[in-house]
Amino acid sequence: MRLRGLIRKETFQIVRDPSSILIGFVLPVVLLLLFGYGVSLDAKHVPVALVIENPTAETSSFAASLAGSEYFAPQAVPHRPAAERALAEGRVQAIVVLSSNFTRQLPSADGAPIQLIVNGTDANTARIISGYVDGAWQNWLEHTALDAGRALAPPVIVEQRVWFNPEVSSRNFLVPGLMAIIMTLIGTLLTALVVAREWERGTLEALMVTPVRIGEFLLGKLIPYFVLGMGGMAASTVMAVWVFGVPFRGTFLVLLLVSSLFMLAALGMGLLISTVTKNQFAAGQVAIIVAFLPAFMLSGFLFDIASMPTVVWGITHIVPARYFVSSLQTLFLAGNIWSVVATDMAALAMMAVFFLGLTRRKTRKSLE
Amino acid sequence: MINPVIDIGEVVKRFESGGRTVTAIDRMSLRVEAGRITGLVGPDAAGKTTLMRLITGLLKPDAGTVRVLGFDSRRQAQDIQAAVGYMPQRFGLYEDLTVAENLDLYADLQGLSRAERKDRFAQLMDFTGLGPFRGRQAGRLSGGMKQKLGLACTLVGRPRLLLLDEPSVGVDPVSRRELWAIVHALVEEGVSVLWSTAYLDEAERCDDVLLVSEGKLLDAGPPAKFSDRLQSRTFAFAVGNTDTRTVLDGVRRFPQIIDAVIKGADVRLLLDRPADAARLGDLARALDLKEDALRPVAAGFEDAFIALLKERETTSAVPDAAPRYGGKPDSIPLPAVANGAPVIRVEGLVRQFGTFKAVDGIDFQVAQGEIFGLLGPNGAGKSTTFKMLCGLLPPTDGKALVLEIDLRRAAAKARGRIGYMAQKFSLYGNMTVSQNFRFFASIYGLAGKVRERAIEHEMEEFGLGPFADVNAADLPLGYKQRLALACAIMHQPGVLFLDEPTSGVDPLVRREFWHRINTMAVAGVTIMVTTHFMEEAEYCNRIGVIYRGRLIASGSPDRLKADHRGSERPDPTLEDVFVDLIESYDREHAL
């Protein structure tokens, strides 16, 4: 009966408090739309300056093949200095130069050289562009050879196949990871704020001098936010699969299991933060620094964990979101790969037990 | 029922704060008898709240024993918490839950069954008069109603012992009376009550009083026991035509008088020893008063409180550093208004927030050298009026002029002639006393030698010299109050605005504060003050009662009391007047 009373109270509060609605519903939807539609790690329609020093049939054939690709938006530039200016001013991301002897050297054994200059400010994009130009060049060579009826004979032919995300769309990779961020928001940030608020407003002091037990109080907080978080998870899954068309290759039961474990770990962290800080402002700051930002940057959601420096790589192991992101990406894109999912689940379960246990120890029916 | 309901033996409680150990409760022993209202009375920081928390088992004593209803607080805290009702200072109402939902929560927590609940709720609603507001969210209730709801929530489980921690702070006199009525009815039913308060008039209504200060129990017993000791030590001068403040000032110089306050047209005295009464005739002559102006009056609890605290010389009270304003009276920059013209003039003042009229057509005037007090329940429009006068908020309609200037449009120079002391301690806590002084001096445009002299002067005047390098946050409460006032007046303003300057300050500090205010008024400074302490209203020349955005009465405290004298109440207190005014206003404007 006491537990029921607490849960009902918490539910009323969630429904009536604009900040819960904001963090619990509005923020996840905004994030999903932003990452689903807006942010993309793919390079498409990259503006490229194309310098053709000696126009011939071959050069215009290559130019046409570049223009036909969805990755490039080539602009013809009369000479090199103009192209360099355009690059410096950021109007183009790369310069492709077909030198005056292009057509002459093309049939020769060494082949014709093309020069590529890429804006390396954003190293990632630079690498992608360089790869694309390479690909486009190889492609064109093969086509030209075929048209000419002679086989191109490079020493090795790379036959590429992309697994799990064949269209190489970053959305398929970002949206599942984003769900971990949303759950962290609800589980840790929101929970940390609401418990700290009870300390701040003095509601807890009156509550403590009733027959209520600490376990009941904690469960009274855990259950409503668990339900809220899982609701957010379900909504995100629906949006991911049916709105953004992200493939889902695992099973929903496994997804439910992993999410529940992560949710418990996140809630445990939130409760612990608020129990220690007892102040909404501090709780919010701490939650953002220890939970939200690591979930964003160290979980593998945006940045590849394997390529991080060793120290940072080591730190990622204590970020719960890391295991969740890995499981989510596996479940959505690859399927039930047990060796991955089971390891992640074990790590999450350990963290949930650790945080909830510590919270239980730290929360006392006392003001000391 | 177990008697005593609370038995505390040799309890010690210490806190660590900033590397220092503070002894909040120092070997305290006391008993609270069953079936009575026991008042826990003491200045701020005396240890009242700590004691309450020790009794509820929320804190554990470092030494000694706390037994509540026969349970030991160390081992049986859960049993205590199931049997007592505790209302902390800021009662934890869930503001986004309705009245009924808050009650339901506490009924669930106390394990009340459905059947019991219906009767109990009906009874509590009836008790508190909250029936019509069941569906309203607690955050939208008035201060008084919130407090009553808090009480109702603690009463849901029918506690045998009720612990109330300063339940009447921030509650207007009307709601305060209702709270008392509820608690009296509970005692009839056999509930024991421990009521902590800093209001001395409330102590007088308790059956027993525990007087605490600095973590020690000074004395215990029925209130009459306290005042009986002061027989033949309390007198009053009927001042007649002489100015009360001049008399007060003279009386304070008399070493045998340990306390003197203005009470309407009287100056009330407390003597050190009854034998000193013989010398009062000389004093009357020295002050140009007729000898028959002197009459003995009955001692009250407040006199006993002051006497006991002065004997102990508590640290929060500060030795009287004879305050003088600006050194010599002629150094005061008198306001540039024609002789006799009001210094503050308010005409048809209106302030509207959306559809709500917070201030609805207020008129009043304040003359030079007057102390004008604004009284009213929370949310009546006091602070809004105040802010418009200080130019912090534009009026929707009407005029609010200070020295015939609209401060909202006035240049900085005009603002330099007023002083303002905000409700909350608005100094920089992590700056030292002298840094605060320097900052405020620069704000007021004092520089060079003028600034150094002004700072030196205020330091000496307010006895802050020894604290020059102490951070403002670490000052004792009484000194914080002094520093705040000193910073507000260091540019020697002709008009002073004080917004609830003494909330959260104990009676001794309050007296010292008013002593300074009086001295300034005598020197010709015009002072406007808001307060919710009725005793402070007595110190004002005139008061205005604000209710629902209107000025429903104004006049000198004595005039107002005379107007409300009735056959069943020949000598009404200001609180009676206040309650009367509000109740009759509500009757006339009933929907």
Note whether B182 and B148 are within 8 A (CB). Answer: yes
Q: What pLDDT, on the 0 to 100 scale, is given for residue B340? A: 66
Q: Is B1 part of any domain? A: no
CB-CB neighbours of A314 under 10 Å:
10
Q: Verify that B116 and B256 share a domain, yes or no.
A: no
Highest mean pLDDT among A26-40, A161-175, A286-300, B400-414: A286-300
CB A49 within 8 A of CB A215: no
A227 and A350: one domain? yes
A331 belongs to a structural domain:
yes
Same-domain check for residues A142 and A272:
no
Residues A118 and A190 in one domain: no
Q: Which of B88, B104, B105 sits opposite A202 (nearest CB)?
A: B88
Q: Kindly state the helix (H) or strand (E) to which residue A271 belongs, with its residue range.
A: helix A252-277
Q: Which of B206, B223, B240 is the last residue of a domain?
A: B223
User: Do residue B405 and residue B495 come from a single domain?
Assistant: yes
Burial of B293 (0-12, 13-18, 19+ CB in 10 A): middle
pLDDT tens for A123-161 read 777 888 888 888 888 888 878 777 776 655 555 666 667
Average confidence (pLDDT) over B541-570: 88
Same-domain check for residues A118 and A173: no
* CA gap B313, B319 in Å, rounded: 9
More confident: B299 or B336 = B299
Residues A141 and A192 in one domain: no
Q: Say what the pLDDT of residue A270 is.
A: 93
Structural domains in chain A (count) = 2
pLDDT category at A348 given cuts 50, 70, 90 is: very high
Q: What is the pLDDT of residues B436-453, one digit of tens each?
A: 888 888 888 888 888 888
The residue among B17, B105, B106 with the most chain A CBs within 10 A of its CB, best to mutate, is: B105
A78 and B CB contact within 8 Å: no
Contact B65, B8 (CB under 8 A): yes
What residue numbers bound the domain in which B548 lies? 329-334+343-588
Please tell me whether residues B190 and B241 are part of one structural domain: no
Confidence at residue B591, expressed as pLDDT on a 0 to 100 scale: 53
Does any domain span residue A125? yes
Asked if A75 and A201 sit in the same domain, the reply is: no
Surface of A (346-365) touching B: CB under 8 A = 365
**Same domain assignment for residues A97 and A190:** no
Same domain, B141 and B187: yes
Percent of chain B with pLDDT over 90: 15
Residue to test with chain B: of A4, A21, A210, A221, most B Cβ within 10 A: A210
Q: By residue range, what is the domain housing residue A193?
A: 8-39+169-362
The whole-angstrom separation of Cα B212 and Cα B242 is 38
Question: Is B479 a domain residue?
Answer: yes
B298, B320, B353: which is the final residue of a domain?
B298
CB-CB under 8 Å, A366 with B94: no
A210: nearest CB among B90, B101, B106? B106
Asked if B239 and B216 sit in the same domain, the reply is: no
Residue B134 pLDDT exceeds 90: no
Question: Are residues B383 and B247 part of one domain?
Answer: no
Mean pLDDT in residue range B133-153? 85
Q: Is residue B380 part of a domain?
A: yes
For chain B, what is the mean pLDDT? 83
Q: Is the pLDDT of residue B301 over 90?
A: no
- Same domain? A259 vs A340: yes
Confirm whether B312 is domain-assigned: no
Residues B71 and B213 in one domain: yes
Mind listing the pLDDT tens digit for each residue in B354-375?
888 889 989 999 998 899 999 8
- Distance between CA atoms of residues A73 and A50, nearest Å: 10
> A35-81, pLDDT tens digit by residue?
777 766 666 788 888 888 888 888 888 888 888 887 888 888 888 88
Tokens 């126009």 identify what position?
A: A55
Residue A273: predicted pLDDT: 92
Residue B315, pLDDT > 80, answer: no
Q: Point out the domain boundary residue: A148, A178, A196.
A: A148
Angle at B83 between CA A223 and CA A2, to 5 degrees: 15
In this structure, are A193 and A275 located in the same domain?
yes
Residues B198 and B241 in one domain: no
Q: Quick one: B281 and B165 in the same domain?
A: no
pLDDT of B21: 80
Select from A148, A183, A199 the last residue of a domain.
A148
Q: Specify whether B147 is located in the same domain as B294.
A: no
- Strands (E) located in B403-459: 418-421
**Residue whose pair of structure tokens reads 């190293």 in the numeric block:** A123
Model confidence over B102-130: pLDDT tens digits? 999 999 988 888 888 888 888 888 888 88
ipTM value? 0.71
Which contacts of B484-487 are long-range, i.e. CB under 8 A and separated by 24 or more positions?
A: B484/B421, B484/B425, B484/B426, B484/B427, B485/B421, B485/B513, B485/B516, B486/B437, B486/B458, B486/B461, B486/B462, B487/B427, B487/B436, B487/B437, B487/B440, B487/B458
**Residue B503 domain-assigned (yes or no):** yes
Tell me whether residues B86 and A206 touch, CB distance under 8 A.
yes
Q: Please give the residue of chain B at the shortest CA–CA distance from A214.
A: B78
Q: Domain ends where: B189, B223, B257?
A: B223
Whether residue B197 sits in one domain with residue B79: yes
Answer with the one of A113, A148, A183 that is the final residue of a domain. A148
Q: Are residue A301 and residue A335 in the same domain, yes or no? A: yes
**Is residue A88 domain-resident?**
yes
pLDDT computed for residue B255 by the predictor: 78
The CATH code of the domain that includes B36 is 3.40.50.300
d(CA A189, CA A195) in angstroms, rounded, equals 10
How many domains is chain B partitioned into structurally? 3
What is the domain-level CATH number for residue A51? 3.40.1710.10
Per-residue three-class SS string for A7-44: HHHHHHHHHHCHHHHHHHHHHHHHHHHHHHHHCCCCCC
Residues A266 and A312 in one domain: yes
The mean per-residue pLDDT over the stretch A290-312 comes to: 86
Cβ separation of A202 and B96 shorter than 8 Å? no
- A203 pLDDT above the threshold of 80: yes
Q: Out of A5, A13, A367, whose CB is closest to B53?
A: A367
Closest residue in chain B to residue A204, using alpha carbons only:
B92
Residue B277 has pLDDT above 60, yes or no: yes
Residue A153 forms part of a structural domain: no
Same structural domain for residues B251 and B124? no
Shared domain for A122 and A200, answered yes or no, is no
Find the CATH number of the domain harbouring B236. 3.30.70.100
pLDDT at B244 over 80: no
Tell me, what's the pLDDT at B529?
A: 92
pTM check: above 0.90: no
For chain B, the distance separating the N- and C-terminal CA atoms, rounded to the nearest angstrom, is: 47
CB contact under 8 A, B90 and A201: yes
CB contact under 8 A, B137 and A16: yes
